[in-house]
Amino acid sequence: MGPASLRSVYPGPGGFDPKEVKREFPIFANNPDLVFLDSAASAQKPRSVIDGTAEYYRTDYANVHRGVYRLSARSTERYEEARDKVRRFLNASDRREIVFVRNTTEAINLVAQSWGAAFLREGDEVVISELEHHSNIVPWQLLRDRIGIKLVVAPIDATGGLDLAAFETLLSRRTRLVAVTHMANATGALVPVERVVALAHRHGAKVLLDGSQAAPRLPVDVQALGCDFYAFTGHKVYGPTGIGVLYGRFELLSAMPPYQGGGEMILHVSFDKTEYQEPPHRFEAGTPDIAGAIGLGIALDFIEELGRENIREHEEALTGYGVDRLAQIRGLRLLGAGQRRLGILSFDLEGVHPHDVSQVLDQHHVAVRAGHHCAQPLMEQLGLSGTTRASLGVYNDEADIDRLAEALKAAREMFLR
């Protein structure tokens, strides 16, 4: 039986019509022929985020926390309201567990250079996986080179998913942290993070989850997951660039030293010593991206209005439809993504370089990503220099997949005739 039609997924008013959703994104009115299939890199922005951010600058802008005048108080209130929206979005137990950063990359670097540098010692082990984005590899290599930790890599299995049995055998008394993706950006493979967390905690290890790809399309409950850290990026959840989130359990954040020094993160400074604020402010040195945080809050409102279960069902159905359509194209190999794939179709067209495929698709107004997707170790493991990646958003529908399939057939004919 094939994937559920989007029309059957949304039989009533509780769902949404992606064609109607697309009207909320000005980019498509200004580029009427565009089929945008690169949301895993960065999602387009709804009108509410664009207008809401601009309106903040017009009506409420002032620096936060420092001012005692009304405009600064209003700006501070809106900034901290955005933090509360993130807390609810992740179901964190305490607003102090939400740290604003620039992106997932900075969030992981913060954990590595603050928690890792303070609590890891030479010979301690950090377990990652072959599915990881460079942002969850390089920070741990830097820490390894600095203090001598050991980086342990859990393999994928023959289906392209995390080899859970092999992962379990790698856990030991020296394992201090497991840092893995919730959903692989290169393939769309969903990692069974509930089981990963349970196994890691059984060995006394903390867990960091990279939620960059999961947060836009899955309900995320950090208390139910039981993870110690969770990170996601604003621009992938239909929000602005330059803003992201680190969730950390409050007792961990409270024990961590500041990541950067400067204004805002202090209680008292003398030339002899400095007293730091409690989390999250001790990790938010300097003037933050105020408008970015407010825009992120508006983007989360947009997601909640659509409904995260609806978004998940929408992308599951559309992913299945895409797998079926691409399977009909001769010479196309879809990368394996384990037992469950969501939102990403990463493929190799036999005999054609991914960059050439992408350029031909662009001539058909179909925007996709080509390359190693910041996952070079995974590509090397698969014996590929890169792939072509189509990734979905709430504005995509079956017609977009049909356009992709027709453009791929044209690319194949162009290069392989």
Catalytic residues: 374
What is the largest distance, in Å, between two alpha-carbon atoms of the chain?
74
Q: How far is CA 228 from the centre of its chain?
A: 17
CA–CA distance, 262 with 295 (Å, rounded to integer): 25
Whether residue 180 contacts residue 209, with contact meaning beta carbons closer than 8 Å, is answered with yes
Buried b (16+ CB within 10 A) or exposed e, 192-221: bbeebbebbeebebbbbbbbbbbbbbbebe
- What are the b/e assignments for 266-302, b being 16+ CB within 10 Å? beeeeeeeeebbebbbbbbbeebbbbbbbbbbbbbeb
Cβ 335 vs Cβ 381: under 8 Å: no
Beta bridge partners of 269: 274
**Helix boundaries (H) for 148-231:** 164-170, 193-202, 222-225
Report the distance separating Cα 364 and Cα 408, nearest Å. 10
The neighbour count for residue 148, using CB atoms within 10 Å, is 12
Tokens 């958003």: give the residue: 393
Pairing of strands 369-371, 387-391: antiparallel
Question: Distance of CA 26 to CAs 16, 32, 44, 390, Å?
Answer: 18, 10, 9, 21
Task: Residue 162: name the closest of 210, 205, 109 by CA.
Answer: 210
Which of 186, 192, 191, 235 has the alpha carbon at shortest distance from 345?
186
Residue 385's Cβ-side half-sphere holds a number of Cα atoms within 13 Å equal to 7
CA angle 246, 147, 181 (to 5 degrees): 35
3-state secondary structure 54-100: HHHHHHCCCCCCCCCCHHHHHHHHHHHHHHHHHHHHHCCCCHHHEEE
SS (H, E, C) 291-313: HHHHHHHHHHHHHHHHCHHHHHH
